[in-house]
Amino acid sequence: MITSVRLRASTRRLVAGASALAAIGALTIGTATQATADPHPTGRAADFHLASAEFGVPEAVLEALAYAQTRWDAHAGQHNTDGGYGPMNLIDGTLFAADGAGKQHADRAPNPQAVDTLGRAARLLGVDRAQLRTDPAANIRGGAALLAQEQRSLGLPTGASTDPGQWYATVAAASGSTDRATATTFADDVYAALSDGASRTTDDGTRVTMSARAVTPKTAQLAKLHLTTPPANPNIECPAGLDCEWVPAPYQETGGGDYGNYDTAARDTPAGPTVDYIVIHDTEASWDTTLQLVQDPTYLGWHYSMRSSDGLVAQHIATKNVGWHAGNWYINEHSIGIEHEGFAAQGATWYTEVLYRNSARLVRYLAHKWNIPLDRAHILGHDTVPGTQASTVAGMHWDPGPYWDWEHYFDLLGAPFEASGYAPSRSAVRINPGFDGNQQPVTGCTTAGQPCPEQGTNFVYLHTEPNADAPLVKDIDLHRDGSASTTQVADVGARAMAGEDFAVADRQGDWTAVWYLGQEGWFYNPARHPTAMNVGGYLVKPKLGVAAVTTYGRAYPESSAYPAGIPDQGTAPLSYQLKAGQAAVLEDATVSTDYYRAVEFDGKPPTDHVDVRGATKYLQISFGHRIMFVKASDVDVVKMTW
C-alpha cells in the first residue's frame, strides 16, 4: 500500500545471514516428489482427466498449466487481482469494463486476445459466464477448450496422447503476453512443474497428484507466436529472464522548496546507508493508476511495481537511491520497496500465481545483490514496518494484508519456513499455520463489522488466556484508548504472522503463549495439527536489575553523533516494554545505527545527503506484529537451549 504521508527528513549479520546467499536459479514451483497419479482419479483430478479426453489436450499439460497459475484451487468462485476465476485462471474482462480498473500499460499491454479468456471459453462451451466462475469442472473444461483451439490455430498436433513437449508454444501463448521473456518464463515454469511433479490437497478437499515426467519442450515453436523483445535498458536491475521495464519516478523540484519523488543516495558505496530490508506492498490501485502515481512528482516513490496479469516488473528508482514508501524514514533509508498490483481487503480476494512467482524471482535477485537474509525479519510486509515512535503506530499501513500467502512466497524464495540454521528449542516458536486451511475470522473487508469471505489467512490470533473466547491481546500504541484488538481487517494488533519467531512464555495443553508487546499472547497450537514449530537461535532478555527495556521503531544515533548543521533527530521510544522475566527473539545483531540526512533537492555534504552514524548499538527483535529495536546495553543475548 502506498504510504500517504512522505516521511523523509563489514561483517553481515550474526543472525540469519546465510540465507541471503542462495543462488538465483530457476524458480521451482512444483513440489519435487515421487508421487504417482491415481489411475482412478476422483474430485478435481477427475475433472482434469475428463477435460483432457474431451478436448484432446494431454492431461499433464492441463494439470501443469493450472498448477502454475492457481495450484489447482478454485477459490470458491472468487476472482483474483487480475479478474481470473477458477483452477484455470480464466480472466473475466467484463469486470474491468464495469469498474474502470485499467490493466494495460501503453507500451507493453497484455495480448488483447487474453483479456477475456472466460468469455471466449464460455462461447466455445456454449455455457453462461457464471458457470465458469463458480463451477471448477466447467472452468477446467473451458481452459482445455482454449488450449485445444490455440494448438490447432498454430498448426500443431492435438490429442490427449500427444507429446506434452509439442504444446510449448500454446502454453507460452496462455501467458497472455506478447513479450518473449514473459511468455518464455511462464512456459518454462509450467514445464518445470510438469518435470518435477506435484501433489497437494486442493480447496475442495481432494488430492491431485501430477506424476513427474521427463519432457523435452519444443522451444523452437515460439517463432510461431511472433513475440517481441524490447531493447535492453541499462537502468534496469532485474534477473535474467524476468520481463522488466523502466518507468522512472521523477526527481525534480516542485516549488516552495519541495521536490519528488525520492532521495539520491550512494547505498552502493561504503559512504551510503546499507540496504537491509525489502518491503512488500500492495498498491490498492489499478496498474494504470499505480504508474500515474509513481510518475507524479508531487507524490511518492518506490523502487518497483509488479503487474498482476503477467508479473511484469516496472522499475522506477535505482536501488542505490532511497524511495519514499514505508512511512518510516529509517526503514526507507535501509530498504527497497516493491508494490504489487492488488487490494488487501476489497475487490479481488487472491493474488495471482504469476505475481507471486515473479515477485519471488525479483526478491531473490535483490537479496543476493544486497546480501539481505531471506527471512521474515528482513523481507517485510508494509504491515511489519514499525512506527517511528508511539504516536505514529496507529497511522502505519497494514498491506499486503491477511490474504498474502507468506508461506507459499517463502517456498518460492527457496527459504521455506521449516528451514532453520539452529537446532530447535522449546524456548521459541515460528508461526507456521498453513494458509488454505487457516481460515481465521476477519471482518470489515467491504462493510464495517461484517464478516469477510472465508478464505486462507496468514496469521493466528493471540488471546489473553488459553481460550478461544478470551479477548484478544492489546496493542497500546495501535489502540491508544486502551481497548482490545479486534478482528477488523486492518487491525494487526493481535496477529502473529506466518514466518515470525516469538519467545515462548508458557504452554498449557493445546495452547502456547508467546511474549508479545510485553504480555502473554495465547494461540491454539495442538500437537496433532500444530500452528507453530519449535525453533532455535538467540533470545534477548533484560539485564539483571533492569525492570523494563525501552523499544524503538528506528535505530537513530545518539545526540553527540550529529555534526553542526544537522539537527538531532532524537530517539523517541515506542510504548512497548520488554519487562524483567520476559524475552524476545533476536532477529539481527548487526543493526545500522544511522540517520541519512536528505532534505534538499540539491543538498550536499557535510550537511545534506550524508549518513550520520552513531556508536550506540541496537538489536532488532521480534516482540510484536512489527519489528522493533532495543539498545544492546539494556539486554543480555542468550543462546536458546532445548
- In the predicted structure, residue 73 carries a pLDDT above the cut 70: yes
Mean pLDDT (the chain, rounded) = 91
pLDDT tens for 27-38 read 544 444 456 666
Q: What is the mean pLDDT of residues 57-72?
A: 96
Question: How far is the C-alpha of 463 from the C-alpha of 273, rounded, in Å?
Answer: 39
Write down which residue in 521, 542, 563 finishes a domain.
Answer: 542
pLDDT band at 588 (very low <50, low <70, confident <90, very high): very high
Co-location of 478 and 512 in the same domain: yes
Residue 558 within a domain: no
| Lowest-confidence pick of 21-25, 88-92, 359-363, 636-640 | 21-25
Percent of the chain with pLDDT over 90: 80
Co-location of 303 and 192 in the same domain: no
Residue 328 within a domain: yes
pLDDT at position 32? 44
Co-location of 283 and 381 in the same domain: yes
Co-location of 123 and 262 in the same domain: no
pLDDT at position 126? 98
pLDDT tens for 229-262 read 988 999 999 999 899 999 999 999 999 999 999 9
Co-location of 186 and 267 in the same domain: no
Q: What is the mean pLDDT of residues 450-467?
A: 95
Co-location of 280 and 358 in the same domain: yes
Do 249 and 367 meet the contact criterion of CB atoms below 8 Å apart?
no
∠ CA 482-483-486 to the nearest 5 degrees? 145
Looking at per-residue pLDDT, the higher value among 34 and 583 belongs to: 583
Question: How far is the C-alpha of 614 from the C-alpha of 164, rounded, in Å?
Answer: 60
Residue 557 within a domain: no
Co-location of 405 and 289 in the same domain: yes
How many structural domains compose the chain? 2
Q: What is the DSSP letter of 488?
A: B
Q: What is the mean pLDDT of residues 497-515?
A: 98
Q: What is the mean pLDDT of residues 476-487?
A: 96
- In the predicted structure, residue 21 carries a pLDDT above the cut 50: no
* CATH code assigned at 402: 3.40.80.10
Write down which residue in 542, 576, 608 finishes a domain.
Answer: 542
* CATH code assigned at 49: 1.10.530
pLDDT tens for 304-315 read 999 998 899 999
pLDDT at position 17? 34
Q: What is the mean pLDDT of residues 103-121?
A: 59
CB count in 10 Å sphere of residue 387: 22
- In the predicted structure, residue 39 carries a pLDDT above the cut 90: no
Q: How many residues does the chain have?
A: 642
Tell the residue number behind the cell numbers 488454505, with chain if given.
436
* C-alpha separations of 641 from 265, 391, 426, 516, 520 in Å: 42, 37, 8, 21, 21
Looking at per-residue pLDDT, the higher value among 13 and 129 belongs to: 129
pTM of the prediction? Answer: 0.90
pLDDT at position 350? 78
- In the predicted structure, residue 463 carries a pLDDT above the cut 60: yes
- Listing DSSP states for 136-197 in one string gives HHHHHHHHHHHHHHHHHHTT---STTS-GGGGHHHHHHTT---BHHHHHHHHHHHHHHHHH-
Write down which residue in 225, 248, 282 finishes a domain.
Answer: 225
Residue 479 within a domain: yes
Co-location of 220 and 255 in the same domain: no
Residue 624 within a domain: no
pLDDT tens for 139-152 read 999 999 999 999 99
Residue 64 within a domain: yes
Residue 335 within a domain: yes
Domain that includes residue 465, residue range: 18-24+239-542
Q: Which helix (H) or strand (E) holds 629?
A: strand 627-631
- In the predicted structure, residue 114 carries a pLDDT above the cut 80: no
Do 387 and 574 meet the contact criterion of CB atoms below 8 Å apart?
yes
pLDDT band at 42 (very low <50, low <70, confident <90, very high): confident
Q: Which residues pair with 507 in a beta bridge?
A: 512
Pairing mode, if any, of strands 335-340 and 277-282? parallel
| Lowest-confidence pick of 80-94, 469-483, 529-543, 600-614 | 80-94
- Listing DSSP states for 414-447 in one string gives T--TT--SS---TTEEEE---STT-----B-SSS
Q: What is the mean pLDDT of residues 157-184?
A: 95
pLDDT at position 56? 98
∠ CA 351-414-425 to the nearest 5 degrees? 110
Co-location of 478 and 501 in the same domain: yes
- In the predicted structure, residue 430 carries a pLDDT above the cut 70: yes
Question: How far is the C-alpha of 558 from the C-alpha of 539, rounded, in Å?
Answer: 25
C-alpha cell at 569: 533527530
Residue 309 within a domain: yes
- In the predicted structure, residue 15 carries a pLDDT above the cut 70: no
pLDDT tens for 346-384 read 645 678 899 999 999 999 999 999 999 999 999 999 999
Co-location of 129 and 194 in the same domain: yes
Co-location of 159 and 298 in the same domain: no
Per residue, the 3-state secondary structure of 199-214, as one string, reads EEECCCCCEEEECCCC
Co-location of 311 and 374 in the same domain: yes
